[in-house]
Amino acid sequence: MNAARSGYRVFSANSTAAGTELARRITERLGAELGKSVVYQETNGETRVEIKESVRGQDIFIIQTIPRDVNTAVMELLIMAYALKTSCARNIIGVIPYFPYSKQSKMRKRGSIVCKLLASMLAKAGLTHIITMDLHQKEIQGFFSFPVDNLRASPFLLQYIQEEIPDYRNAVIVAKSPDAAKRAQSYAERLRLGLAVIHGEAQCTEQDMDDGRHSPPMVKNTTVHTGLELPLMMAKEKPPITVVGDVGGRIAIIVDDIIDDVESFVAAAEILKERGAYKIFVMATHGLLSADAPRLIEESSIDEVVVTNTVPHEVQKLQCPKIKTVDISLILSEAIRRIHNGESMAYLFRNITVDD
């Protein structure tokens, strides 16, 4: 199809070649060409965006993958959206497969809900719609003043399990913490497999972190109202690490939405190995794989880490052959086509539940 004649254009806001790979795959599926633009950083570190063709009255889709330099990618997206807005684009739709700052969506002590701030900035820059994938918290959609389509990668990961893992019928789906149990249960029910949950891990979960309701801190000799005695809250104490469910002689498949710092996944793999699992896979939508993640995975008991290409990770794959990639450009390109043509998005969410 000729994208220009049909009233829409697809741009990439990334200034790096690795960041534009997903955009290239999407435009190939659409039979379109990437819009002509220049995105670069000046010598003083400022981001500059130049649109090299007319976008007046058209639907514009900005594909922005988030590499390691998150803040630069955010500025590239904001500046390109604003440039398109001032160039009289009709609609500006952001295609952001991994939404940055999604872990900062709850109040922590005297911090802030940065994800809400980013949503407001995107709206102010000119975006009118967002396509994303597997938000860390689905409630994040409520931060936006415009429509958000939160696509799911689970159909692609489930297909990978069925086609690429020999004897997957002898597998068990594992949640590395109780927080991930709903996602793991959804995978287990779709594959007709057993479920196991690791409980008692050492690190704090999101629920255990101080959310500010104990602020200001208690101070000795504080004056209180006479007769006011609040019940004392018992301190939490984690039990010894246990695996709820049988993994002996089975393939263990750990599922989650994000794999970034891999220490918790490596620790979970060691526990599963001790409990008798003979092969361990990790499946996640977003493979951030920061810091020493490739080296830790290579040295661990994990046999394979499977992530989608929502985030560029070619460098990490060169460092660790255990990392495999599932392409999700198909669903993103179909979402773009349907939104531009005003078609229903329900087909892309068929058989999808809130826990996926």
The tens digit of pLDDT for each residue in 164-205 reads 999 999 999 999 999 899 999 999 999 999 999 998 855 455
User: CB within 8 A of 280, min separation 6: which ones?
Assistant: 251, 252, 253, 254, 269, 272, 273, 301, 302, 303
Neighbours of 162 (CB within 10 A): 12
Nearest 5°: phi and psi at 90? -70, -55
Average pLDDT over residues 258-278: 94
Residue 152 clears pLDDT 70, i.e. is over it: yes
> CATH topology of 9-151 equal to that of 155-201+240-326?
yes
User: CB within 8 A of 203, min separation 6: which ones?
Assistant: 263, 264
Average pLDDT over residues 146-155: 96
Of 237 and 347, more confident = 347
Cα angle value 326/331/336 (rounded, 5°): 140
**In this structure, what token pair is assigned to residue 321?**
């052959």
Cα angle value 298/304/310 (rounded, 5°): 100
Residue 25 clears pLDDT 80, i.e. is over it: yes
Residue 2 clears pLDDT 50, i.e. is over it: no
Q: Given 3-state DSSP classes, what are the helix, strand and coil percentages for the chain, each rounded to the nearest 5? A: 35, 20, 45
- Average pLDDT of every residue of the chain: 90
In Å, how far from its chain's centre is CA 269?
Answer: 22
Residue 78 clears pLDDT 70, i.e. is over it: yes
Cis peptide preceding 312, ω within 30 of 0: no
291 pLDDT tier (thresholds 50, 70, 90): confident
Residue 4 is predicted with a pLDDT of: 46
Burial of 115 (0-12, 13-18, 19+ CB in 10 A): buried
Report d(CA 173, CA 226) in Å as an integer.
54
Which CATH number applies to 155-201+240-326: 1.20.120.160, 3.40.50.2020, 3.30.300.30, 3.30.43.10?
3.40.50.2020
Q: Is 180 helix (H, G, I), strand (E, B) or coil?
A: helix
Residue 223 is predicted with a pLDDT of: 56
What CATH class does 9-151 carry? alpha beta
Report d(CA 54, CA 223) in Å as an integer.
68
- Amino acid identity for residue 196 in this structure: A
Q: Are 6 and 37 in contact (CB under 8 A)?
A: no
Q: What is the DSSP letter of 222?
A: -
- Domain spans in the chain, listed from the N-terminal domain onward: 9-151, 155-201+240-326
1 pLDDT tier (thresholds 50, 70, 90): very low
> 0.85 cut: is pTM over it?
yes
Only one residue has tokens 């949503």, namely 119
Nearest 5°: phi and psi at 345? -95, 0
Cα angle value 73/77/83 (rounded, 5°): 140
Residue 88 clears pLDDT 60, i.e. is over it: yes
